Amino acid sequence: MSKTRTVALPKDLYRQAIVESFKKLDPRVMMKNPVMFVVEVGFVITLLLTFFPSLFGGESKPLFNGVVTFILFVTILFANFAESLAEGRGKAQAQSLKKTKQETKARRLAKDGTTQMVHSTELRKGDIVIVETGELIPSDGEIIEGVASVDESAITGESAPVIKEAGGDFSSVTGGTRVVSDQIRIRITSDPGESFLDRMISLVEGAKRQKTPNEIALNTLLVSLTLIFLIVCTTLLPIAGFVNAAIPVATLIALLVCLIPTTIGGLLSAIGIAGMDRVTQFNVIAMSGKAVEASGDINTIILDKTGTITHGNRMAAEFVTVGRAKLEVLNRVAAQSSRYDETPEGRSVIELAKKQGLSGEALDLPGSEGVEFRAETRMSGTNLADGTLIRKGAVDAIKKYVSEQGGSIPADLETKANAIAVAGGTPLAVVEGKTILGLIYLKDTVKPGMRERFDELRRMGIRTVMCTGDNPLTAATIAKEAGVDDFVAEAKPEDKIALIRKEQAEGKLVAMTGDGTNDAPALAQADVGLAMNSGTVAAKEAANMVDLDSDPTKIIEVVAIGKQLLMTRGALTTFSIANDVAKYFAIIPAMFMLAIPQMSALNIMNLATPQSAILSALLFNAIIIPLLIPLAMKGVKYTPMSASKLLSRNLVVYGLGGILVPFIGIKLIDMILAAFRLV
């Protein structure tokens, strides 16, 4: 399972949130939340009525007005507190990240080959720096020379160092991480203030959080409801005058505040901020709230194979003899062919040979020299001191090499090589002199737990498609082993984009995970692009999410959080609107009971007095906001199930619950007020 980055909520965070709650009372800030801005306007009016009872004419009670003013003020503070707490949690995470970002020295390589010590802030894109064991990597970049173990715990929280090497998809390094071993040369890929860490800090602080389309639509609904209830409450004055019932302005304001969706209005922003925060806790950095929200509606996930579904490095899994060769001879020669091969593939060959009984003395080859792999020959190997040439390489390249040397090709070579390819592996032929001894079965193994994770996605109703450049036989084998729903073999970058566009043309939302430069166009095209932190800079720039743990199955958590965000918003909206029913039965009878005794029939809660009914409804309206803050921050629990079942469950829990809870809450508050003779 994926680990989470936990950020505690210290007392300082609560204190800061309280301070921010008062700062947000500024009308220029409140206007961004129209629902709560209406409440603030109501607060100002009742405050004036408290000190100037006859301001608007008619009968007015200063004490009652003062109590209503206080409750409205508390309601606004609670709503501001919810948003401030969500923002404060993001800022707390940003502070922990800022500890990682520190002023470091860097050895910058000049054009004449000399090095000079400079501050990390002086580095620019294109500069080349040298970093050795124990030193911090000064800024984001790509390794252009060398292999090293890098401790990324400051960024990912993972204590185990990772191997980074020049070339391929594992050359990207992040500023603030530490080199544990060896020396590397890095080409800087970001200017000061534009590094990955800088963007992480900015994003978790919420400085660039924009409202998502869904959030904007819901805001529009809330504003519309507020306008409707504002018109309704305004027309009550002439209606009341027609039946000779005097309605105090403070009572009308109390009715308006209780009927408009203040609960969801006060919590809406906090829900969005908390959604991005929950993604961050899973070590995923979302570049926008829109990406988190879109992940909740994903229909199809397209995954790159190498480095995503599989480990990415082909490892020696088996030695297969051909002709009359003996296995112990093949073990020795295969290991000797890899004596000077420092790639993960070469090291795995030696490790496999040792596991099968090869002694270390067999690799003691004085006077020998290594032959590096070349694209033209597609072979590498070792030249022994006695003149024996040992080579390993692609089967067709070795066959051509042996034929040119006058050697013979074993009859079973092609058959056994094809069998390895069908099984999803890569065959490398091994030759000593003119004799082909056998094959090295290289296998790009599927990461543990992939099948179970894809089963979980299937239960969510999400289709998984693997894209790979491998041949169809290899692709089919890996797809079957991993448990994906479909696969595309021999895929080029443009094929991945075409597949995404095809799915999107059918009205589906598509997620893509990848780590290589060739994945960048597809990551940019997808509705949700999740790049691996171990991948290239191009991939991370193109994606709208970056997984710091480089775990492709993390998309499951991202999808669950996206669904949770949408569910939380929908659930609290349902609860907020359902609340209005109970408040209606509390306040409307109270407003008209004195002038129209027959209205007492609507007082089904048997509330003590009209004033008690109004204050009880207002108090409940204020208290329910802080009570729902934990739910807004944590989110509604998501369990994979069909949309119809999910809707039915939420209607019962939050719809019916939203009607019943206020009846109980308002009645309890009324009983307390009556018991202490507060009204």
Choose between 517 and 391: higher pLDDT. 391
The CA–CA distances, whole Å, from 444 to 231, 305, 331, 344, 535 equal 67, 10, 20, 12, 17
Q: Is 341 a known ligand-binding residue?
A: yes
Please indicate, yes or no, if residue 105 is contained in any of the structural domains. no
- Residue whose structure tokens are 């505040």: 257
Percentage of the chain exceeding pLDDT 90: 28
Q: What's residue 625's pLDDT?
A: 92
422 and 455 belong to one structural domain: no
Q: What's residue 64's pLDDT?
A: 87
Choose between 574 and 602: higher pLDDT. 574
484 and 608 belong to one structural domain: no
397: helix, strand or coil: helix
Residues 45-74, mean pLDDT to the nearest whole number? 85
Q: What's residue 589's pLDDT?
A: 81
Please indicate, yes or no, if residue 287 is contained in any of the structural domains. no
Please indicate, yes or no, if residue 4 is contained in any of the structural domains. no
**What torsion, rounded to 10 degrees, do the Cα atoms 73, 79, 84, 89 define?**
140
Residues 527-554, mean pLDDT to the nearest whole number? 81
Please indicate, yes or no, if residue 112 is contained in any of the structural domains. no
Boundary (domain end) residue, out of 191, 213, 246: 191
Least confident of 2-16, 321-335, 416-430: 2-16
Looking at residue 550, its amino acid is S
What's the pLDDT tens digit per position in 403-447?
998 899 999 999 999 988 877 688 999 999 999 999 999 887 787
Of the candidates 44, 38, 29, the one whose C-alpha atom is nearest the C-alpha of residue 84 is: 29
Q: What's residue 486's pLDDT?
A: 93
505 and 653 belong to one structural domain: no
Q: What's residue 103's pLDDT?
A: 62
480 and 570 belong to one structural domain: no
Looking at residue 643, its amino acid is A
Q: How confident is the model at residue 329 (pLDDT cuts 50, 70, 90)?
A: very high
Percentage of the chain exceeding pLDDT 70: 89
597 and 662 belong to one structural domain: yes
- Both tokens assigned to 209: 């959080």
Judge whether 474 and 499 are in contact, CB under 8 Å.
no
| pLDDT at residue 678 is higher than 70 | no
Q: What's residue 643's pLDDT?
A: 64
Residues 274-300, mean pLDDT to the nearest whole number? 81
Residues 521-548, mean pLDDT to the nearest whole number? 84
Q: Is 127 a known ligand-binding residue?
A: no
Q: What's residue 207's pLDDT?
A: 44
Choose between 604 and 81: higher pLDDT. 81
Please indicate, yes or no, if residue 556 is contained in any of the structural domains. no
| pLDDT at residue 172 is higher than 60 | yes
Q: How confident is the model at residue 194 (pLDDT cuts 50, 70, 90)?
A: confident
Q: What's residue 391's pLDDT?
A: 95
Q: What's residue 208's pLDDT?
A: 46
Query: What CATH number did the domain enclosing 381 receive?
Result: 3.40.1110.10
Tally of domains within the chain = 4
Residues 248-266, mean pLDDT to the nearest whole number? 89
What's the pLDDT tens digit per position in 609-662?
888 888 998 999 999 999 998 888 888 887 766 667 777 888 888 989 989 999
Boundary (domain end) residue, out of 390, 415, 443: 443
487 and 366 belong to one structural domain: no
Q: What's residue 181's pLDDT?
A: 80
Q: Is 574 a known ligand-binding residue?
A: no
Of the ranges 3-12, 20-29, 94-103, 267-276, the best mean pLDDT one? 20-29
Q: Is 304 a catalytic residue?
A: yes
Q: How confident is the model at residue 460 (pLDDT cuts 50, 70, 90)?
A: confident
Averaged pLDDT of the chain: 83
Residue 439 forms beta bridges with which residues? 320, 429
506 and 583 belong to one structural domain: no
Please indicate, yes or no, if residue 333 is contained in any of the structural domains. yes
Q: What's residue 101's pLDDT?
A: 57
Choose between 255 and 597: higher pLDDT. 255
Boundary (domain end) residue, out of 135, 166, 191: 191
- Residue whose structure tokens are 């504003």: 223
- Whole-prediction pTM: 0.66
79 and 221 belong to one structural domain: yes
Q: Is 379 a known ligand-binding residue?
A: yes
Q: Is 380 a known ligand-binding residue?
A: yes
Q: Is 377 a known ligand-binding residue?
A: yes
Antiparallel, parallel or unpaired: β 300-304 and 178-181: unpaired
Please indicate, yes or no, if residue 288 is contained in any of the structural domains. no
| pLDDT at residue 159 is higher than 60 | no
Q: What's residue 606's pLDDT?
A: 83
Antiparallel, parallel or unpaired: β 147-151 and 128-131: unpaired
Antiparallel, parallel or unpaired: β 300-304 and 510-514: parallel
Q: Is 361 a known ligand-binding residue?
A: no
Q: What's residue 384's pLDDT?
A: 93
* Per-residue exposure over 24-53, b if at least 16 CB sit within 10 Å of its own CB, e if not: beeeeebeebbbbbbbbebbebbbebbeeb
42 and 141 belong to one structural domain: no
Q: What's residue 7's pLDDT?
A: 46
Q: Is 369 a known ligand-binding residue?
A: no
428 and 472 belong to one structural domain: no
Q: Which of 127, 304, 547, 670 is catalytic?
A: 304
Q: Is 519 a known ligand-binding residue?
A: yes
Residue 204: alpha-carbon gap to chain centroid = 11
Antiparallel, parallel or unpaired: β 315-321 and 435-443: antiparallel
Q: Is 30 a known ligand-binding residue?
A: no
Q: What's residue 514's pLDDT?
A: 80
**Own/partner pairs for 412-418, CB < 8 Å, 24+ apart?**
412/322, 412/323, 413/322, 413/323, 413/439, 416/320, 416/322
Q: Is 319 a known ligand-binding residue?
A: no
Q: Is 69 a known ligand-binding residue?
A: no
| pLDDT at residue 398 is higher than 90 | yes
Antiparallel, parallel or unpaired: β 528-532 and 545-547: parallel
Q: DSSP string covering 546-583, please? A: EETT--GGGHHHHHHHHHHHHHHHHHHHHHHHHHHHHH
Domain with 174, as residue range(s), is 124-191
Q: Is 132 a known ligand-binding residue?
A: no
Q: What's residue 584's pLDDT?
A: 80
Of the ranges 126-130, 276-280, 294-298, the best mean pLDDT one? 126-130
Q: Kindly state the helix (H) or strand (E) to which residue 380 belongs, with its residue range.
A: strand 379-383
654 and 541 belong to one structural domain: no
| pLDDT at residue 2 is higher than 70 | no
323 and 420 belong to one structural domain: yes
Please indicate, yes or no, if residue 119 is contained in any of the structural domains. no
| pLDDT at residue 31 is higher than 80 | yes
Query: What CATH number did the domain enclosing 132 receive?
Result: 2.70.150.10
Q: What's residue 350's pLDDT?
A: 93
| pLDDT at residue 156 is higher than 70 | no
Q: What's residue 193's pLDDT?
A: 74
Judge whether 529 and 542 are in contact, CB under 8 Å.
yes
Residues 363-377, mean pLDDT to the nearest whole number? 87
